[in-house]
Structure 1
Amino acid sequence: MPRSDFEAISESLIDDVCRRLEENRPIRLRQALPGGGMLNIDRLLPFLCVYRRDPARLDNGTGPFVTAEAAYLYAPGEATRRKGLQRLVRRIVQSATTRLGSFLILEIWSADDARVPAAVDHLTGERLLPQPAFRILTRLPHRPEGAVARLEFGLQRIKSNRQAARVEINLHSRNHPPRMSQLVSPADAAKLNCHVLGVEILPVYRNPQTGEVYDHVQRGLRRAVTQALKQAFFTFALDCTNVRPQHYYTLGRKSLPRQVWTVDRQLAEVSGKFKLLLQVTPVNAERAWHSFSQSNFQQAPRFQYRPLEADPLLLKRRLWKIRTEQIEDPTLGYLLRQTQDELDRQISMLADIGSRRFLAGSLQVYGGVEPSLLELAQKILKTWPNAGDEPPPTVTAGAFVRRAAGEIQFYRKRLKDFAAKAVVQEEMYSGLLSTGGNLLVGRETVLAENRVEALLHHEIGTHLLTYFNGQSQPLRLLKVGLAGYDGLQEGLAVLSEYLVGGLSRRRMRTLAARVVAVDQLTAGARFAETFRRLVEEHGFEAHLAYTIVLRVYRAGGLTKDAVYLRGLVEILDYLARGGQLEPLFVGKLAADHIPIVRELLLRNVLRPPPLRPRYMDDPRALKRLGRLQSGCTVMELLDA
């Protein structure tokens, strides 16, 4: 025998909810409503997004469309439960309108599966994928016109199955699901200054015969729908309430379920179990150089690598136990799933070091060379056929480590948790590598004095700074790196070299040569062929050409070195379009993540970065930055 309404949703529960609302305290009641219902109110907001589960039908995949919102009610729709829900919602509306002036209830449900068209192409007989469609249901005269128009516009911009959504507004139909009663009667709505909208979604995200959800389609639609809803809530707040949100992002969730942080921690732990770049750095680079030179640069060198410290199979097993699919927040769910996918590909690369399969994995993670990037690289090499006069290298590994220690101390004074170390790495013959919050310097590294300042800003002022800024965030993945972060990260690092006056012609030629080498690699050229091309066609000194080709051909073919020039192009374009540098220092992120990071900052999920690079306080660097913000191409960079 079912419990009564009064027992299921008691007056004491309703009183507690309203008291928290009046105190502007977060409310998170999981399974406190009968039948597995859930009420989540992040804070006092002028809206409530509602989904009621219809007991008369299978409705897979629809409920999650509301759980992305900061204020939602996910409830069973049985008749025995309805009066309790109505009392709860009415009291929430009363509490909210007393302080905010007005309130919006937006209820979501799915259309009947029979309405999903099973159309076929009249020429080929092939099945046509259904077009996404929405119906906005509201009643005259009491409707928020601005919010309805904004919702219509937002939904019309949604695409699924490569088709734009069809949106219909119905001003005369019921604004609640079929077989359900109204949560707030028209008389009460008018009395309380409460507006009610219904949104019916055509369920193109599931199989109409079996009810099986197409996860990829549903996730994409859900992210897009929640964006449209927030924009409508934002317009409603400005038009109808005394709330003045800064941006529609600020209406998103601020307090997140524990599961988000659990998944974030688990992914960061897997990422911390291996260091891919260190693992693919040869331990015999100089011995291989001697062998290569003794063969008159004909026989490809054979590189040796560190033993794997982690079993790729066990790492993958641990990785795919992480339940990213259960994250309610679509923005964070997207970031976490992206990272999980990239970690999977990186672990495959780890297992494939030294094999032909490694290159395929590298192309998946870092990409190849697009024609426009190759054209730019060739133009750089043609425009500056030689490196020009540069001072001889005199700064040894030990001397550079001492300079780096001073730079680290500069940042540690501003952030006590800046626990980086610069160390001479005996297993590395030459070069610099920032990994795991430390700067490793190859034992035989020798640098030109005019490059030291630029490299300090590249390695410490960019790579380590974003590492420790990311560490200060609640989202740990900003420390280890979101998926695809390398391009923006290296572009930002090269930009820092320019801003401190250390981006030389030689350095630009090296970045361009790396792109050419990656293109040669993916075209099937052998190590010696690419080496000869750099030496004979582009005038590189033999040992420098060897180093460039080594970096690209190591482990079976690492295409990462194309990201330096590509990232520089990205960052210059970003600045020319009015982008600001400060959000890029939050942690290690990709260009695609900039709007997402902005959203999370506005939602107070992320905090402003505690550190910014030293050059941001240098008038000369700021003057150079100002030139770039007016628009500057890579070819104009050395003259800017």
Structure 2
Amino acid sequence: MRHDEIEAQLSDLERSLTLIAHLTPTNAEVERDRFLSSRHYEPEFHYPTLNLDLDRIVERIRSFPLTSTEEVLRYRRSLEHLYLRAELLRARGTRARAIVLSSELFGTPDPEALTHARELLAQAREDEPEIVPSDVIARDLRAELAHYGLHGWAVDYHPSWYTTHDPTRQTVYVNPHRKFTERDRTRLPSHEIGVHILRGVNHARQNHRLIRRAGSEDYVATEEGLAAYAEELTDTLHPNALRTYAARHLATHHAAIGSSFRETFAELRDADLTPLEAWNTTLRAFRGGCFTRDKAYLEGYQAVKDFALRGGSLSHLYVGKVDLTQVPTIIWLLEKRKIERPHLIPRFLSSTS
């Protein structure tokens, strides 16, 4: 099978096995109100209809035609992750099975990072006024896209509380009803566009025979860690953001060890999260029964920061959707001119990298 045919088939499988859309409860708001009005109620979540033939998809993954040692080395990990995604979707709402599968797919929280998370949560929170309307944030994001010449991208509104983006639709989404801090006007363009979107755009220009494909879960910690470190470099990393990452880390720890939803929520409330913050953070970690992906934020931030402080060039992380473990290979490929240097570098690095 030709390389581009393999990539096309794997991309098709990835689109089918979208985790967030399939693992986000459809009755979260109803269960939130019941949960917050009770001292003992444990939420019971319902999930979107799964219009997927998982048996057929799993068989397709297991019988995927890799015909050379090079293909096996290159694509085996991606296929393993796709299989785990499929089985995690099959196990929605089955707590014990979801814990095993999520831990295999994303790993479990690092004990040292867990200690750091508890230390961060022990610090007093520093709140800022949220007075900036969403249309101002949308305008700032559009200006940032224009700065990089990304004219095919758009900014639109979406009910999700979190500002995010969809590379397949080339759209950044903002909650129309949310108020933001003044700091967010710089933070969100640097985070969403200066990291996530630029890395994706650069990746699309590379020789994918030489750079391991995106879509593997391995790069998530680098991706989110770099985004957090970008906030630090732009002086927009609010202490509460680190507390948020710490809270997510603690929540994934509890989800992975089998704590109940309420036990997890209670510890986050003890760490001075508001009821809504504690609910949302716990919900993220309990999606589908257990979803440990959120551990990537704190662990990735520390890993990327350590890399930079040791003299590593962050520009090497902009050749595409790569992770820190690939940097030595990236340097060699750049020296041999086998891959392109990053097409787009964020403005916060352009004068230093």
TM-score of the pair, normalised by structure 1 = 0.51
Q: Distance in 2 between matches of 1:351 and 1:551?
A: 18
Secondary structure of 2:2's aligned partner: helix
Aligned to 2:262: 528
Q: State the secondary structure of the residue aligned to 1:614.
A: coil
Is 2:17–2:85's contact at 8 Å kept on the other side of the alignment? no
- How far the C-alpha of 1:499 sits from its partner, in A, is 0.9
* Pair 1:275-2:13 in alignment: no
Equivalents in 2 of 1:600, 1:542: separation in Å? 49
Paired residues of 2:74 and 2:212 also in contact (CA < 8 A): no
1:493 aligns with 2:227: yes
Partner residue of 1:409? 146
Unaligned stretches of 5+ in structure 2?
none
Q: Relative contact order (C-alpha < 8 Å, sep 6+): which is higher?
A: 2
Q: Matched residues in 1 for 2:26 and 2:191: separation? A: 24
**What is the match of residue 629 of structure 1?**
none
Greater CA drift, 433-442 or 527-536: 433-442
1:183-582 equivalences under 5 Å are: 259-296=2-39, 298-324=40-66, 326-329=67-70, 333-356=72-95, 357-382=97-122, 384=123, 386-391=124-129, 393-411=130-148, 413=149, 419-426=152-159, 428=160, 430-436=161-167, 437-475=170-208, 480-536=214-270, 538-582=271-315
1:462-506 C-alpha deviation (Å, 9 max, x unpaired) = 111112211222329867434411011110010111111111111
**Using a 3 Å threshold, how does the CA distance of structure 1 residues 263 and 302 change in structure 2: closer, same or farther?**
same
Conservation of the 8 A alpha-carbon contact between 2:89 and 2:288? no
- Secondary structure at 2:317's aligned position in 1? helix
Aligned residue runs from structure 1 range 598-617, under 5 A: 598-617=331-350
Conserved? CA contact 2:114–2:249, under 8 Å: yes
Further displaced range: 507-516 or 300-309: 300-309
Counterpart-to-counterpart distance in 2, 1:359 and 1:291: 25
Q: Are the aligned partners of 2:247 and 2:281 in contact in 1 as well (CA < 8 Å)?
A: yes
Superposition RMSD in Å: 2.5
CA separation in 1, counterparts of 2:135 and 2:64? 43
1:615-636 CA-partner distances (Å, limit 9, x unpaired): 123x6xx5xx9xxxxxxxxxxx
Contact kept? 2:191, 2:231, Cα under 8 Å: yes
Alpha carbons of structure 1 residues 480 and 443: separation in structure 2 relative to 1, 3 Å: farther
CA distance in 2, matches of 1:308, 1:372: 37
User: Matched residues, percent identical?
Assistant: 27
Task: Give, in whole Å, the separation in 2 of the partners of 1:399 and 1:533.
Answer: 35
SS where residue 286 of structure 2 aligns?
helix
More helix by share: 2
Partner-residue secondary structure (3-state), 1:449: coil
SS of residue paired to 2:174:
strand
Q: Give the direction of change, closer, same or farther, for the CA distance of 1:347–1:559 in structure 2 (3 Å limit).
A: same
Distance 1:593 1:561, change over 3 A: same
Q: Cα–Cα, structure 1 residues 403 and 281, in superposed 2: closer, same or farther, change >3 Å?
A: farther
For residues 10-29 of structure 1, what are the structure 2 equivalents within 5 Å? none
Does structure 1 retain, via aligned residues, the 8 Å contact 2:214–2:322? no
Determine helix, strand or coil for the equivalent of 1:519: helix
CA, structure 1 residues 290+339, in 2 after alignment: closer, same or farther (shift >3 Å)? Answer: same
Structure 1 residues 285 and 603 mapped into 2: Cα distance closer, same or farther (>3 Å)?
farther
CA distance in 1, matches of 2:192, 2:348: 13
| TM-score, with structure 2 as normaliser | 0.89
Tell me the distance in 2 between the aligned counterparts of 1:403 and 1:313: 45
**1:387 alignment partner AA:** R
Could you say if the C-alpha distance between residues 438 and 609 of structure 1 is closer, same or farther in structure 2, counting changes exceeding 3 Å? Answer: same
Following superposition, the deviation at residue 333 of structure 1 comes to 4.5
Answer with 1 or 2: which has the greater Rg.
Answer: 1
> Per-residue deviation at 1:323?
2.5
Inter-CA distance 373–328: structure 2 relative to 1 (3 Å threshold):
same
